[in-house]
Structure 1
């Protein structure tokens, strides 16, 4: 199998942080990039989820709690604002 060079550009800080991380994992940059490329081929795409929303843990917990409440029959529900205001004593 013939080798080929791959030149990429990235920010210096990103490169240094990645090199440090990979060194802690016992890898060098070439090995890590090759792992990414092979995983991309195996997955027939980017080997991780690409997402736009980046919620912090508190927001994720709030969403999860809201979903539980929405489907829990033990929590009261209201079909109009007057009933909700009455329940809140407003």
Structure 2
């Protein structure tokens, strides 16, 4: 009878591997089982089983973006015609 499994070899950072082995060991599984879980979840999700992003803003940046949006929508917010006017106003404060 032929085995339905295959051996697959790939390179991974030594420290990442060590950390993952320790973490999965605490969960009661080995790295090969974790990788199989990842692949099965990928098939179910039709891609990565988690969001893959280049960069996600931190909480402080998100709050600043919301504040900027609110200021832009506020009809009573002070407006400037050029950068020099805004800088002059900042120096006076």
Q: One fold, TM greater than 0.5?
A: yes
- Asked if 2 retains the 8 angstrom alpha-carbon contact of 1:22 and 1:32, the reply is yes
Runs of at least 5 residues in structure 1 that lack an aligned partner in the other structure: none
The match for 1:76 is 77
- Residue by residue over 1:16-35, the C-alpha shift from the partner in whole angstroms, topping out at 9 and shown as x without a partner, is 11100111222211110001
The match for 2:25 is 23
The match for 1:34 is 36
Q: Which has the larger radius of gyration?
A: 2
Divergent runs of 4+, >3 A: none
Alignment RMSD: 2.7
Task: Kindly tell me the number of residue pairs found equivalent between the two proteins.
Answer: 85
Structure 1 counterpart of 2:49, from 41, 44, 47 = 47
The match for 1:61 is 59
In structure 2, how many angstroms separate the alpha carbons of the residues matched to 1:14 and 1:54? 22
- Asked if 2 retains the 8 angstrom alpha-carbon contact of 1:69 and 1:75, the reply is no
